[in-house]
Amino acid sequence: MKRMPDLAINECVRELRAACRLPIDPPALEMIVDWLRPNFEKILGHHEGARRWADHGQRMRDNARHLGGFADFFASHADASSIGVEELTRALQVIRADCTVRSERAPVAFEYCTGLPLSSTAAEEFLQAVAPPPELV
């Protein structure tokens, strides 16, 4: 039987792929999954993992679908024939910015976005300027 972190990652990768029209470069996807795996392990890799996934899984699947949509957008904007590291990294900056801005009202949102080797400051400033404030959870 698969472990909860692996099941959750697989669900999120399926959502990410479903949101992309262009093919995803396998090494680029593997790199992003490697960045995110420690958070999934920390949050879901214990006896409360299934309950936490039941509580937060839909939001994470949504984030994965948004990640795929943004990556596809950035690849299309660059006239790329596939989605690579650059497009996935830019998309992850936007998703991380959402986690950061959302964590001002729902601290659990940031748990999934910690430890990523990228800055989302510019995207956070953009979201705070143009997006409505996140709803209270």
Query: What are the beta bridge partners of residue 58?
Result: none
CB 29 within 8 A of CB 13: yes
Confidence (pLDDT) at 37: 94
Tokens of 30: 């593997």
φ and ψ at residue 83, rounded to 5 degrees: -95, 125
- For the chain, 137 residues long, the average pLDDT of each consecutive 10-residue run is 91 97 97 93 91 90 94 96 96 84 63 70 73 63
CB 60 within 8 A of CB 36: no
Q: Please state the three-class secondary structure of 12-70 as a single string.
A: HHHHHHHCCCCCECHHHHHHHHHHHHHHHHHHHCCCCHHHHHHHHHHHHHHHHHHHHHH
Confidence (pLDDT) at 120: 72
Question: Model's pTM, two decimal places?
Answer: 0.83
Confidence (pLDDT) at 125: 75
Write down the domain spans for the chain. 4-130
User: Rounded distance, CA 94 to CA 102, Å?
Assistant: 12
Tokens of 65: 């679908």
Query: What are the beta bridge partners of residue 24?
Result: 83
Q: What DSSP designation does 104 have? A: T
- Nearest alpha carbon to residue 124 among 92, 97, 91, 105: 97
